Amino acid sequence: MGILTSILAWLGGGSIVLFGLFKWIGKITNDRFKIKWQHENQKDIEGFKALVSSNTEFLKASLASLANEYSTAQERRLVAVENLWNCIILIRKYNSPIINFYSILLPKEYKTVLYENKEFLGVERISEDTLYDLNLKVDNIEQHRPFIGENLWNLFYLYRAFMLRMCYLFIKGRKKEDIKSWSEDKHLIEIANYLLGEKLKTVEVSSLSSLQTIIGLFEQKIITEMEKLISGKTASEISFNEAKKILELINEVDKDKY
């Protein structure tokens, strides 16, 4: 009985020792894994911090550069818009005798009035030579095209085409002593329809005021596009898209690193 008790006591004590030994080994192993994990994790954290710092500096530099480019480009846009509007004023002023002619007289009165008074409303100064000179002056505006955007440029191009064609048809008709209403030319109507769309349906093209109304709507559309450039709205949208591209580029770089 004493021997059995001694054996059980020995086994019990050994179990406690063995349990303690396993616990100690487990603690050491766990501590080592923990230290290793913390070390590796710390390296990742430091690497991530460095990457964030690098990306932040890159982003700051990119946005600063973008802001500087925006400011410089906006100044050029304002100059371009001003010059474009001066061209529109020049074209309208040159065509004003013809616009007034069509806005005052009925088609049946054209020939009689011009026969009696060739200088009526100042139309005598409208000629092929002066039209050619006007076209040369207007052509100079193309140097500003990169700064006004294609939307505004296309509007101006069609406006010029409408006004100069109307002038050409008047000169041609006067030579033949057979001036026709501007509204009889299908190309002028096509341009007006393209620019104004549904708005053209609200204009009675055969009325005396129709030409003034259509030209006014043309210019209103051009001014609306100009206001976007002057306010910086169009440029801001471009800058925002550029900044967005920079952020997307950074994200792509980050993906490649991990």
**In the predicted model, what is the mean pLDDT of residues 46-57?**
60
pLDDT of 110 above 70: yes
Q: Angle at Cα 107 formed by Cα 102 and Cα 111, nearest 5°?
A: 95
pLDDT of 52 above 80: no
How high is the pLDDT of residue 39? Answer: 63
- Average pLDDT of the residues of the chain: 77
Q: Which tokens belong to 94?
A: 């040159």
pLDDT of 179 above 80: yes
pLDDT of 111 above 90: no
**In the predicted model, what is the mean pLDDT of residues 232-238?**
59
3-class DSSP state of 207:
coil
Q: Which residue has the tokens 């020995």?
A: 10
**In the predicted model, what is the mean pLDDT of residues 214-235?**
88
Instruction: Report, in angstroms and rounded to the nearest whole number, the Rg of the chain calculated over CA atoms.
Output: 40
Nearest to 88 by CA among 148, 173, 172, 169: 148
CA distance 211 to 204: 10
pLDDT of 61 above 80: no
Q: Locate the domains of the chain by residue range.
A: 76-249
How high is the pLDDT of residue 55? Answer: 59
